[in-house]
Amino acid sequence: MHAKQGFTDQQVQILTDWIHSRNKPSEHLNLPLSSTGGIDIDAVLQAQGIDTETEAVSGLDVVVARILLRDITYKLPQWAVGYENGEIQFGRDNEWRKDVLRPLGIIPSELFEINWADSGPGFSWPEAYHACPVPGFDITVVTASVDSTDAHGYTEFALGWFNAGDEVAVESGKIIRDWWSFQYNSWDQCSWAYLFSDGVIAEDEALSWRGTVWTENTDED
């Protein structure tokens, strides 16, 4: 085990490489240099079935979110359909939990959960946001979780990080609004429809963020 609060050496290297990949100053975190752990990160990702990347989500984004959300998978968005033969098909496959070998004691805070749209009866497109403290790294990571792989190829991914002492509402807002803006600018994503639930971020604040992103982008067009 690594000295950093129970993370394995492999997990430390994954987290370190991801932090370095975010193009954000991290010198004060006293991290090891990227990819100095002698661990083949690509092989680790492939072993977990993370073998493709999309325009929006990288393999490191996915595995970091899995490490940090491991203990609350039962709270994350899930879609299911039942068939006459008794078979049940789930949109979210949580088998990856076995790859994060044991609980890490990380307790993510639920920020809020949106619904992008209702495409039919029982067909919503939820996306939940969490703020995950990372012991030993002195940062908080913001994650997004969805109920199927249809949109981005994976059901959970890390969006960004901020210093542990910073204001959660302020810094998570920047990260989430950047995520929304990226989608608008990349494929003209429409505004999300409504809130499923609030948490650390109240409904009024989430709606204000939505208005800022889509109003500003619309005004620029």
Span 3-27, average pLDDT: 79
How, if at all, do strands 194-198 and 109-120 pair? antiparallel
pLDDT score at 25? 67
Q: Is the pLDDT of residue 221 over 80?
A: no
Domain assignment present for 106: yes
Domain assignment present for 48: yes
pTM score? 0.87
Domain assignment present for 166: yes
Domain assignment present for 18: yes
Domain assignment present for 1: no
Which residues partner with 127 through β-bridges? 114, 146
Total residues found in the chain within this entry: 221
* 30-61: pLDDT as tens digits: 565 554 557 788 888 888 778 777 888 999 99
* 89-102: pLDDT as tens digits: 655 766 665 655 55
Taking 3-state DSSP, the helix, strand and coil percentages for the chain, each rounded to the nearest 5, stand at 40, 25, 40
Count of domains for the chain: 1
DSSP annotation of 185: H
* 162-207: pLDDT as tens digits: 999 899 999 999 999 999 999 999 999 999 999 999 999 999 999 9
Report the 10 Å Cβ neighbour count for 193: 14
Domain assignment present for 3: no
Query: Are the beta carbons of 102 and 5 closer than 8 angstroms?
Result: no
Domain assignment present for 4: no
Host domain of residue 98: 9-220
